[in-house]
Structures are given as C-alpha cells and as structure tokens.
Amino acid sequence: MNVASSKSEQPAVLGQPPEKSVVEALRTINDKVQKTFFNLIQRNRTYYYDTYFGTNNPLLLFFKNLLRPKRFLTKFVYGQVVPLPAAITMGDPLPPFTPSEQALSICEQFKRDGVVILPGAFREIADHVINKYNIRIERYKTSEDYEYYGGDRYLRQIDQKLLHFMVDELVLQVFGLYYQRQPYLRAPIDLSIAYPSYDMPSTRDADPKHLRLNMGWHYDTPNLVQVAVLLNDVTEKDSHMQVVKGEHRSHRVNLGKWDYYYSDEYIRDHCEIVRCCGPKGTIYFFDTNAMHRLFLVKNSPRMMIKTPYMPGNDILPLKHKDVDHTILVEGGVNLGSLAPIQRDALRYLPLLPC
C-alpha cells in the first residue's frame, strides 16, 4: 500500500530528532516532484486526475519499471515473465501429478483472462463455514470499513474439512499449472465480510487518502493468486468483487501514491470488467496483478472466505516472523492421505492438533 502524503516541512520540535524533519522535507519534495511529473506527462484529465494516474500505457510502464524494478524482477525470477530453465527459477518444481481435465480447462481460461468463476461449485464448503462459525448477517452492523471481520480475520481453528479445502486438489492443480511451480499457502483461510453503510462513490468524488477502504481500481502483491468462496448469494446489484479481464500479465508498477489507483473513466474506456457474482458456494479464481476492486452497495453484504497462494515470495509466516500464524486443527494433523502437491502447499503454515 502507498504511504499517505507527508506534511509540509516543519521546524524541528522539542523531542523530535532533526533528521526526522529532514526526512519529512525530502518526502514532501519527492511528492511534489512526482505530482508535477504525472501532471505533465499524463495530461488527459478525463482519465488522470487527483490520485488516479494509474495507466497501462506500455511506454510509461517500461520507464516506470526501469525506475522501480523490484516488482518486475520478483515476477521474472519466478518464471512469471518468460519461462526460465528450471535450475535458475526461484521456487520449487511441481511434484509429479496427472492434472484433471477440469484443471486443464480452468487453467487455460485463467491464463487468458486472469479470472475464472464456477457458480455454486463449493456450496457444501460455504454451508459448512456458515454453520461452524455461526456466520449470520444479523450479527453484524453496516460499517464504513472496507471489510468488517468482527474479530480476527483469519480462521485460526479449523477442522478436517477446512484443512482439505485449504489444499483442494483442483485449486492447487490449477495454480501449479499456472505457475509451473509448487504453489504455497501464503496465509490461513481469510474470512471477509463487507457490509457497507454507503454506496460506492465515483473516483471523481472520492480520494483514497480520506476513506477507510481501497477506493479505486488497484492491484496487489506480485505473483499472488487467490480463490474466494461466496457465503451468500451475490448479484450485480449487490456488493461484489470486480476484476479487469485479461490485464493480469501487464507489468504494472507505481512510483508513488499518485499513480497506484486507476480512475473509473480509465477502466470504463480501456478495460472489460468481470463481476464476481453467483449463488452461495460460488468460487472464483483470480490473479491479483489484474486491476480489481470491491464494488460497494449500501446495506448489501458480501460474505466470503478466501485463500491466497504464492510460488514462494512474500509468504506471510516468513515475512512476519514475530506474528503467530499457527493453525489449530481439530482431530489432529494427518497429512498422509494428501497428494504431494497438497502436502507441500502447507510447508510454511505451522499446524498443531487440538
């Protein structure tokens, strides 16, 4: 995420180190230089304004990747830009497996579109989560927050059914074929409940700095893919996820806060939107490098669980070692019945029986 703009340079105050004022002054200068640069280069005020200077212009992206190459390089070393020889590709090779016809079909569409929706395919899991964790919309109130969790967002105690959902063989085969590397769980199952108290404002009317949500179209961590299962029926008239189709392979990067978000007008005139809707139990796969957003509808809840996967970079238990990522598994931890691709996916998540 981008850091909010720094305040104008102020004289050092009592108790504030002088170097802090210098850092703030440099940030202010950098911020003004970036704003001037984007206003000069991207002059079309239909698409670019306020903090919405995100673009897929190939020439601009080329130079921005030269200036800030880390995101591109993270994809490159994992073989997600061009295929690399296995010996020099980061991550781990896929264990031997025979992909199902369904996995091959989903992966083909996923490579093309960056998003695949299977209506109602995981209804049993959705019902199980709702009953096990007593998820009832009447327990929640509408909120100004982007997502309302009512507690810890992660499911820290799971049963055997949810353990097998985390390493669902179809999901792992799709992502394994997509990466051509072993996919790893980045974090535990994530419970997300969006219950907005207002309708989605347009980017003309809203500045992401002043709102408690990811306003505007944005993208996430490189190489991050997710599946989400809806816990309630969701239509296009309800709060729902929107994903831009076919833009997941672009090498987008931002230089600062001004060019991270995309305007509504830019998306409208340059992109095709996929609306992730369906009956309870609908599962959708999506590559978070594609622009996406949660479209908000007042008093309309969107409840789901989601699981994130990576080929090896940015695994949360490795990145935040001071945080406890342990998952308690009811009935014990017996992975002997799992296929190698499933067992390996759990490598970085500590599991304990309970």
Residue 204: the pLDDT is: 92
Q: Is the pLDDT of residue 290 over 60?
A: yes
- Specify if 292 maps to a domain: yes
Q: Is residue 135 part of a domain?
A: yes
Q: Is residue 12 part of a domain?
A: no
**pLDDT tops 50 at residue 253:** yes
Would you say residue 15 lies in a domain?
Answer: no
> Averaged over 251-271, what is the pLDDT?
95
Question: Of the candidates 7, 26, 311, 352, which has an alpha carbon nearest to the alpha carbon of residue 176?
Answer: 311
Centroid of chain to Cα 98 = 29
Q: 57-71, 92-106, 167-181, 208-222: lowest mean pLDDT where? A: 208-222
Query: What value does the mean pLDDT take over residues 117-142?
Result: 93
- Backbone φ and ψ for 172, nearest 5 degrees, come out as -70, -35
On whether residue 226 sits in a domain, the answer given is yes
How high is the pLDDT of residue 150? 46
What's the mean per-residue pLDDT of the chain? 90
The amino acid at residue 188 is: P
**pLDDT for 6:** 39
Task: Please state the rounded mean pLDDT for residues 203-218.
Answer: 73
State pTM to two decimals. 0.89
Is the residue at 118 inside a domain? Answer: yes
- Compute the average pLDDT of residues 272-300: 96
Kindly report, residue by residue over 178-193, the tens digit of the pLDDT: 999 999 999 999 999 9
Q: What is the CATH number of the domain that holds 196?
A: 2.60.120.620
In a domain? residue 8: no
Domain range for residue 183? 20-353
User: What pLDDT, in 10s, does the model give residues 3-30?
Assistant: 344 334 444 444 556 667 888 888 888 8
Q: What percent of the chain has pLDDT over 90?
A: 74
What's the rounded mean pLDDT across residues 64-75? 97
Q: pLDDT at residue 214 above 70?
A: no
In a domain, 204, yes or no: yes
Total count of domains within the chain: 1
> What is the rounded distance in angstroms from the CA atom of residue 195 to the CA atom of residue 211?
15
139 pLDDT band, cuts 50/70/90, is confident
